[in-house]
Structure 1
Amino acid sequence: MHWPFPLYLNIRQKVLVGLILCIFAIGSIGMMSLNNLKAIEKKQHLLQVADDLGNIILEIRRYEKNYLLYGSSEDLNETHKYLEEAQKVLARISPEEGNLKAVPLLNRLREELLTYKKFLNQMTHKGSQNEDASDSTLQEHTRESGKSLVDLSQELVILEHRRILYLLNTLKAQLLASLGILLLLGLSLVSVVANKIVRPLRVIEKTTLRIAEGDFQPIPVLQTHDETQRVVEALNRMVAELEKRQDQLVQAEKLSSLGILSSGIAHQLNNPLNNISTSCQILLEELDEGDKDFARRMLNNVEGEVHRARDIVRGLLEFSRAKEFSLAPASLSQVVERSVRLISSQVPPGIEVLTEIPEGLTLNLDFQQMQQVFLNLTMNAIQAIKNPPGRILIRAEINESDGEKEALIQVKDSGIGIPAENISHVFDPFFTTKEVGKGTGLGLSVVYGIVQKHQGTISVESREGEGTCFTIRLPLPAVNT
C-alpha cells in the first residue's frame, strides 16, 4: 500500500509541524479567549442595564409609597414615568435575549411590569373618578407586585454576576490549559531541536576534533531517518577515506625516507660485499695449500657478512612493506635498535646516537609504523645538529600519571632548537622550516598521527641554541604493570 505522506519526517518537517501546531494552538486559544471576552463584555453590559432597571424599580416603589401615603398626583405621575422607563430598558435587552440564560427571568419581569402597570392604572382610574383610591385590596396587590419587581430585578443582577464570574473562571481555566498546551508543545519542540539537531551537531563536532587528533573511529549511526543520519553516514565515509589517506601518507613518508636512506644503505651493503669478496679471493689463493682450519675461518667470515647483508636488506624490506595497521606486543628496544640501524649510514661523523631503553619494556605497537616514528624523529634530530659534534639520546622509562602507568619515551638532541613562534605548528601538515627540496613538512604530522593511533600523545619542548626534546607517552600493557 502506498502512503500519500512519508512515514518518517525529516528535521525541517518536524520543526515545521511543531511550529504549525503551536500557531494552531495559539490561534485556537486566542479565538476561545476572544469569544469569552465578548461574552463577558455582553454580560457586563446586561449587568449594567440590570442595575439601572433595579434602580428604576426602586424609584417606582418610592413614588408608589409616597402616593399611597399622601395621595399626591405628582407622585403618581412620577411612578408612571419611571414605569415607562423600565419598559424601555427591558425593550433594550430584548435583542440580546437569544443568547441569554436569563430569558425566563426577563419574561417574568416583563409580565410583572404589565401586572404592576395594570394595578397602577386601576388606582389612577379610581382617583380620576373621585373614587376611593385607597382600596386596601388594590393597594395590597400593587405592593406585592412592586415587591416582586424588586425581587426579580435583584435576582437578575445576581444571576448576571454569577454568569460573569463563571465566564471569568472559564477564561482563567482556558488560559491555564492553553499555557500547559503551549508549554508541552514548546518542550516537545525543544526536545526535537535538542535531540535531532543540537546533540548530533555536538557529536559531529567532537568527531571532527577526534579526526583532527588522528582518531578515525566511526560514529554509531542512529536510524533517525532524517538529515542527521545522512550527515553521520557521510561523515563515516569521510572518516574511512581519511583513514585510507592517512595510511597512504604513512607509506609515502616511508618511501620518502627510503629515498633519503638509499645512499647510506648502498654503503652499508658495500662493506659486507667487499668483505665477502676479499675472503673469497684469499680462500682461492690458499686453496691449494689445503689448510682446512683457515678455509673454515674464511667461510665463517663469508657467512657472517652474508647474514649482515641479509639483515640490512630484511630490515629495509620490512620497513618499506605496506600492511594494515595492527597492534601486537613488541619490544621497544628492538624497534629503536632497528630504526637506529636503518639510519646509521646517515649519521655524520661527530654525532653520537645513544639509546637507553629497558630490555624488558614491551608495548602494544605496530612495529613498522613505530619504526617510522623513531626514524623521522632521529632524522630531524640529525638535521638539527648543524655543526657537529652533537648527541642524540633515545631513552624510555615507566612513568605513573594520574594513578595509571605509562611508557614515557624521549628523543633529545643538542641541535639548534626550534624558534618559539614555530613550536605550536611543528605537527601541522606541510609545515617545515627546512630549505626548499629538503623536506615535505609531513614527517612530524605523520609521527603525530601514528602516535594517536597507538592511543598515545606526543609533545615537544625546545630552546633555541640548546636543543629539542620530543616526548611520547604510550599506554602500558598489563604485562609491564
Structure 2
Amino acid sequence: MKLKIWHKMIIGIAIPSCIAILGNVLTYKYITDVENRQGYVQIGDDLKELVLEVRRNERNFLYYKNEESLKNLHNAISNLSDSATSISPKTTKEIGKTDFLEFQNSIGKYSDLIDSLYDKYLVAREFTEKVRAEGRKLETFVSKGGHAKELTTSFILHLRLLEKNYMLFHDKKSFLELNSGLSQLTSIIPFCNECSPYIQTMKDLFKIYSQNSSMEDDIQIIGDKFEKNTKEIAIREREKISSFVKLTKRHLLIALALLCTLGPLFVYKTATYIVTPIKRLSEITKRISEGDITLRAPLKEHDETFSLAVSFNTMLDHLQLTHESLEKSLELLREKQAQLVESEKRASIGLLVSGVAHELNNPLNNISLTAETMLEDLEELDPDELKGYVQDIFSQSERAHHIVEDLLDFARARRSTVMEKQDIAGIVKGSVNLIANQLRVNNINLHLDVPEKEIFVRGNLSKLEQVFVNIFINAIQAMKDRGTLTVSIEADEENKNVHINICDTGPGISPDKLKDIFEPFFTTKPVGQGTGLGLSVSQSLIKEHGGEIEVESEEGIGTTFTVKFPLYGERGRTAASGEVPNMEQGKTG
C-alpha cells in the first residue's frame, strides 16, 4: 500500500484518538445513564416518603377511627396517587412498568378498602352502643332480683368489665375471656329471655370486629406492599447505578489500557515508518561524507522520501561525475605543481651554478699552477717536494669534488614523496651549504644560529631543501652584492612546533606588495630576473608539511620570513627544550 508520510501520521494519531474517543463516548453514555438512574432513585425515595406518610395516617386512622383521621389518610393517599400519576411512561418503563401499574392499581384498591373499613367502623360503633345498652338492661334486671341465684351482680359486672376490655383492646385474650364469660352466662340460665339480647348483640359485635380486623389486615398488607415496592424501586435503581459505575470504571480501565499499549505502539510504528527511510538516508549521507560516493539510496517507500531518494541519487550521480572530474583535475594539478617545483628547482640550480663556477675557479687555478710548477722543476724536485705538490693537487681536486657533489645532490631528481622523520636543523645547515658560494660571490655575511642537538619534524628531505633554498636565494637576490643573511632556529615547546627565521638586510617590501608576495608569478625583480614562483612553491610545500610561513618587512631595513613546522614526537620536543648555542659565521666572497 502506497502511503504518504501524512497518511502514516494520520493513521498513527487517529487510532489512539479513536480509542480515546470511544472511551469518552462510553463514559458519557454511562454517566448520562447514572444521572437518569439518580432521577429514578429520587422518584423511588419520594414515593417512599409519601408511602410512609400514608402509613402514618393509616395507623392514626386505625387507632382513632374517626372522620378527621380518615380525611388525613385520604389526603396522603391523594398525594401518593398524584405523584405516581405524574411519572412519565418512559420512566415507568425504565423502573418496571408491570410493577408500577400494579402499584397504581393498589392505591385505588387501598383507598376503597379504607372507605369500606370506615363504614364498618360506623356499624361497629352502632353495635357497640347497642351492646352497652343491652348490658345496662342486663345489670338492671339482675339488680331487681327474681332470677336464678347463680346469676349474681358481681358476675354481670365482671362480664361488663370483660366487655370493656374487649372493646378497648380488640385482642385475642380479651376476646377469649369475654366469650368464656358469655358461655358461662348461657350455661347458668339457658332460657333467660332478658340475657339473650345482650348475648346475641355481643356475638354480632364479634362478627363485625372480625370483619374489621380482616379488612385492617388487608389494608396493612397493601400498605406493606407499598413500602416494599417503593423500597425495591430505590434499591434496584441504586444497584443499577452501582453496576453502571463499575461498568464505566471497567470500560475506562480497558480504554486506558488500550490507549497505553496500542497508543505508544501505533505511535512507535508510525514514527518507525516515517523515520526509517530518513535514517537510512542519513546513514548513507554519513558514509558518503566519509568518502564512499558509490552508495545510492534504496527506493523502497512510496512516500515523500521516494522523491527525496530519487533526487538524492541524481545528486550523487552528478557528484560522482564531478568527483571524478576533480580527481582528474587534481592529478593534473599535482603534475603541474611537480613541474613547477622542478622548474623552480632548475632555476635555483641555474642560479647556484654561477656561484659554483666562480668557486671552482680557485681550486682549478691552484691545480693548474701546481702542475706547471711541477712540470718546470720536475728534474730538480726531490721526492718530498714532489709529494707535497701532489698532495696539494689532490686537496684542491677534493675541494672541487665537494663543491660539485653538493650541487649534484640538490639537482639529483628525487622521485620519492614519502614523509619521514627528518632533522630540520641538519636540513637547514645543508641548504646553507648549497648557497654558500652565492653568499661569497655576492659579498653577503652569514649569521647562523642553529642548535647542535637534533630537532625532528615529519617531512620530505628534497621538498624541505627546496623550501629553504628558494627563500635563501630570494634573500640573496634582494640584497644585491652586499648585506647580511641571518638564519636561526627556535623550538617552541609550549605550542609543540619549531620556528625557522630567515632575515635579510635588503631594501624591504612595501605594504601594498607584501600582501601579494606569495601569489604565483608575482615578483619585485626586473623582467627576466626570477620566475615569480619561488615563494609560491615554497608556501605550497610548507602547507603540505602541515606548517605555515609568515613574512614581515620594513622598507629600508629588510625582510624576515618565519617558517613553522610541528615537532615530531617526544624526541623533537626534548631536543627543543635545551639551550640553543649561538653560532656566528662571517663569510665573504
For Structure 1 versus Structure 2, the TM-score category normalised by the shorter chain is 0.5 to 0.7
- Residue 302 of structure 2 is aligned to residue 319 of structure 1: no
Give the aligned partner of residue 84 of structure 2.
79
- Residue 105 of structure 2 is aligned to residue 122 of structure 1: yes
CA distance in 1, matches of 2:92, 2:440: 123
Q: Deviations over 1:64-89 (max 9, x none)?
A: 6437734555753553453413267x
Give the aligned partner of residue 474 of structure 2.
380
**TM-score with structure 2 length normalisation?**
0.55
Give the aligned partner of residue 449 of structure 2.
356
Give the aligned partner of residue 94 of structure 1.
none
| Contact persistence 2:363–2:397 (CA under 8 A) | yes
- Residue 504 of structure 2 is aligned to residue 413 of structure 1: yes
The one-letter amino acid paired with 1:306 is S
Instruction: Choose between structure 1 and 2 for higher RCO, CA contacts under 8 A separated by at least 6 residues.
Output: 2
| Contact persistence 2:521–2:531 (CA under 8 A) | yes
| Contact persistence 1:56–1:85 (CA under 8 A) | no
Return the offset for 1:144.
3.4
| Contact persistence 2:9–2:270 (CA under 8 A) | no
Higher-Rg structure is 2
The one-letter amino acid paired with 1:339 is V
Return the offset for 1:148.
3.0
In structure 2, relative to structure 1, the CA distance for the partners of 1:357 and 1:194 (3 Å cut) is same
Return the offset for 1:350.
4.5
Return the offset for 1:55.
1.2
- Give the secondary structure class of the aligned counterpart of 1:393: strand
In structure 2, relative to structure 1, the CA distance for the partners of 1:457 and 1:56 (3 Å cut) is same
The one-letter amino acid paired with 1:357 is V
Give the aligned partner of residue 561 of structure 2.
470
Q: 1:308 aligns with which of 399, 417, 428?
A: 399
Identity %, equivalent residues:
25
In structure 2, relative to structure 1, the CA distance for the partners of 1:34 and 1:259 (3 Å cut) is farther
In structure 2, relative to structure 1, the CA distance for the partners of 1:48 and 1:463 (3 Å cut) is farther
In structure 2, relative to structure 1, the CA distance for the partners of 1:310 and 1:50 (3 Å cut) is same
Return the offset for 1:282.
4.8
CA distance in 2, matches of 1:339, 1:52: 110
RMSD, aligned α-carbons:
5.1
Please say which of residues 309-318 and 114-123 is displaced more in the overlay: 114-123
| Contact persistence 2:26–2:248 (CA under 8 A) | no
| Contact persistence 2:37–2:241 (CA under 8 A) | no
- Residue 319 of structure 2 is aligned to residue 336 of structure 1: no
The one-letter amino acid paired with 2:552 is E
The one-letter amino acid paired with 1:36 is A
The one-letter amino acid paired with 1:380 is N
Return the offset for 1:334.
7.0
Q: Deviations over 1:169-215 (max 9, x none)?
A: 447746994799599979999998998767996xx7xxxxxxxxxxx
In structure 2, relative to structure 1, the CA distance for the partners of 1:441 and 1:160 (3 Å cut) is farther
Give the aligned partner of residue 36 of structure 2.
52
Q: Tell me the number of residue pairs that the alignment of Structure 1 and Structure 2 aligns.
A: 417
In structure 2, relative to structure 1, the CA distance for the partners of 1:464 and 1:290 (3 Å cut) is closer
Return the offset for 1:303.
3.0
The one-letter amino acid paired with 1:166 is L
Give the aligned partner of residue 102 of structure 1.
none
In structure 2, relative to structure 1, the CA distance for the partners of 1:448 and 1:191 (3 Å cut) is farther
| Contact persistence 1:352–1:390 (CA under 8 A) | yes
CA distance in 2, matches of 1:307, 1:57: 131
CA distance in 1, matches of 2:514, 2:252: 77
Give the aligned partner of residue 159 of structure 1.
246
In structure 2, relative to structure 1, the CA distance for the partners of 1:465 and 1:385 (3 Å cut) is same
In structure 2, relative to structure 1, the CA distance for the partners of 1:309 and 1:36 (3 Å cut) is same
For structure 1, the residue ranges without an aligned partner over 5 or more in a row are 1-18, 89-109, 205-218
Q: 1:41 aligns with which of 25, 28, 53?
A: 25
